[in-house]
Amino acid sequence: MQVSQSQINDDAIDLMINMGPQHPSTHGVFRLVIWVDGEKIQKVEPHIGYLHRGSEKICESESYNQIITLFDRLDYVGNLNNELAFSLAVEKLMDLEIPERAQYIRVILCELNRIASHMLFYGVYGLDAGATTPMLYGFRERERIQELFESVTGARLMHNYIRIGGIKEDVESDFKDKVHKLINDLKKSVDECDDLLSNNEMFLVRTKNIGIITADEAIDLGLSGPSLRASGVLEDIRVTDPYSIYDRFDFGIPVGSKGDCWDRYFVRVQEMRESIKIIEQALIDLPEGEIITPIKGMVRPPKGEVFIRTESPRGDLGVFVVSDGSDKPYRVKVRPPSFVNLQALELMLRDTYLADAVLVLGSIDIIMGEVDR
């Protein structure tokens, strides 16, 4: 993220400030160097890598099923969506046909995971703006979803539930009843959250016309997910390049108009409602049957390479896998949305007030686990 001399007047810079890497509002171990002229930000320089674990390289020494646990730990807030992305890549290499029941259960859980991720964003973003009550509302609803995940997968966070060929085990007989009750509660809760914060006068002052990025700028920088749609770009991989069984569902793509902090916030609020629509349709059509395609012995895809794109809660999650025919991949490369979306931070922050830096950063909703990998 280099800034040319024509864009920045060095004579105007009178103070350099370090934000992070240990800072409660950087949403991870992240350092942002900020140059200011009075209260106005002139230039920023993000520093990443504090959470680097070499995940992509470790994949080369693990079996395919073991790698799913590594993908759980990239975006640890939307981990079921990460599990799905890697599984789809390997399944495409192996030309596997996934049982219908497993497909529907995958979609239901991934959309619940999207809502849980957005609820976490809602809570901490309210806190970034100085409001504590949204944190209580957001975590209350996230907890309800986590309880369902625990009953289905046996874990609250690192689920390791979606497997190559299907899912680990079938859901319980009362699964549909539990999910029906959960989404009925979530409908009311999303409305409550919306009423509480979205049009709050102080929140509007802090987020409207702050951190603006235009549609052309967003496209040029490769933004995706809510950060792209907030700028008015109608792009959702579930619709424009559907994977799994998303082409069977009827749902909308929420978009913003200005590409400011408020639009990035409100697109996520609207997306929760669209995810509920998908879950309702999937529950109606959920078939009986097998939950996994049997694979004899170790997973050994044929020689070849594949690239898969999915719509994670943060945007376009790409997975590139190269197979040499063994039980371990030759190469795994991840295109994480948080890493790409972070590129827009310098543009969003230029000429904004220092006090707004936390709100602009928070509006991108980065997860440092997938940024650093």
Domain ranges (residues) in the chain? 52-372
| Rg, Å, the chain Cα set | 21
Please tell me whether the overall predicted TM-score, pTM, comes out greater than 0.85 for this model: yes
Nearest of 370, 79, 107 to residue 224 by alpha carbon: 370
Strand partners, 16: 35
Q: pLDDT tens-digit profile of 322-345?
A: 999 899 999 999 999 999 998 888
pLDDT for residue 3 is more than 70: no
**Average pLDDT of the residues in 17-43:** 81
- Alpha-carbon span 176 to 337, nearest angstrom: 32
Domain 52-372 has CATH 3.30.750.24: no
Task: Summarize the confidence of residues 121-145 as an average pLDDT.
Answer: 89
Q: What is the 3-state secondary structure (H, E, C) of 88-119?
A: HHHHHHHCCCCCHHHHHHHHHHHHHHHHHHHH
Which of these, 221, 242, 190, lies nearest to 343 by C-alpha position? 221
Q: Cα 177 to chain center, whole Å?
A: 27
pLDDT at 7 over 80: no
DSSP conformation class of 6: T
What does the pLDDT look like over 139-184, one tens digit per residue? 999 999 999 999 998 888 888 899 999 999 998 989 999 999 999 9
